[in-house]
Amino acid sequence: MTALLITVDTELSSSLHQRGLSLEENVRRSIWAEAQGRGWGVGWQMDLLDRFGLKGVFFLDPMPALVHGADFLMPIVGAIVGRGHEVQMHIHTEWLAWAQQSPVGGRQGRNIGDFTLDDQVVLLSLAKGLLEDAGAPPITAFRAGNFGANDDTLRALASIGVAWDSSVNPAYLGRECGISADPAQIGATRLWGVGELPVSGIADRPGGFRPAQICAMSAAEMRAGLRHAAREGQDAFTVVTHSFEMLSRDRQRPNGAVIARFEALCREAARLSAVHGAGYNDLPADLADRPARTLSRAAPSRLRTGLRIAQQAWATWRYEHRLVPA
Ligand SMILES: [Zn+2]
């Protein structure tokens, strides 16, 4: 069985905050993704997952608590945990720029990997504590904002007892992501004391990598990637999306193309008997310590890549440039 981890980076927008948006409005737009009188955020995502018997992992960023206080976290954590989905830890250190009291002596950085090991331990334990105080069960998994982690992040996670990391995305390795991971790694491994399960993907061209992110892959590419993982008996297939990803980039209206892709993924996952929806707490404890197997990614298809480029051009025209009245 392949565990399908549908992971949702659940976060307020620091750029909307910078532009003067209130906490309340930021939560409404970024977490519940309200547009045109309806929500397309974590509530809608859980409705969809529930309809297909799947589980979501919501990597929630608690750092805005340094600016706004921690009260906003409880309703979000409560909604997710109350419906049987997982809350795990995400971190955007950008928020330190507006912190009333800095937990790291005023030091700032865009990514968690910009900090020393000691500062990372402080920031990650603070984030873990904020989430657990807001009602989350013990945090067992982490993803860095912007995938901006490094090896010290894994050491820090191990030291505070977080079992899994999901900050390795081969599309970001050597850029924002400074973890010394092999881009060809597909299955779980143990790195610096933490189970590392990279973001899944396909080869969209020879030697290329396209991450399994809902806004970046066509429904056909996602289907090909998931079917391939199931056929190979891979332990896990990790998909990435965001709490606000179902909206157009200006967050003013729903993006029908992205919504349709999410629905297509759920439908396909429910149809495949070798795939089951899972959270990190459902993974076998020894998964990262099993002997390595030779695994591969779905092979390139010029037709599939070409179709996605055409569909993306259409969706950009339709949902981003507002050339069609809606
Ligand atoms: Zn993020």
In tens, the pLDDT along 235-289 reads 999 999 999 999 998 888 999 999 999 999 999 999 999 999 999 999 999 999 9
**Measured distance CA(321)–CA(24) in Å, rounded:** 27
Which residue do the tokens 């009245």 mark? 325
Give residue 291 CA to ligand 1 midpoint distance, Å.
32
The more confidently predicted of residues 306 and 143 is 143
- How far does residue 60's CA lie from ligand 1's centre (Å)? 8
Q: How far is the CA of 273 from the centre of ligand 1 (A)?
A: 31
Residue 322 Ramachandran class (φ > 0 left, ψ -120 to 50 alpha, else beta): left
Domains in the chain, start-ordered, CATH in brackets? 2-320 (3.20.20.370)
Ligand 1 mean position, distance from CA 142 (Å): 11
User: If you measure from the C-alpha of residue 9 to the centroid of ligand 1, how many angstroms do you get, rounded to a whole number?
Assistant: 5
DSSP-based three-state secondary structure for 268: helix
For CA atoms 187, 216, 41, 173, the dihedral sign is positive
Under 8 Å between Cβ of 95 and 66: yes
Q: What is the pLDDT of residues 101-153, one digit of tens each?
A: 999 999 999 999 999 999 999 999 999 999 999 999 999 999 999 999 999 99
Burial profile 54-76: b = 16 or more Cβ within 10 angstroms, e = fewer: bbbbbbbbbbbbbbbeeebbeeb
- Mean pLDDT of the residues in the chain: 95
Give percent of the chain above pLDDT 90.
Answer: 87
C-alpha 301 – ligand 1 centre gap (Å):
30
In whole angstroms, how large is the CA radius of gyration of the chain?
Answer: 19
Burial 275-290 (b: 16+ CB within 10 A, else e): bbbbbbeebeeebbee
Q: What is the pTM of this model?
A: 0.95
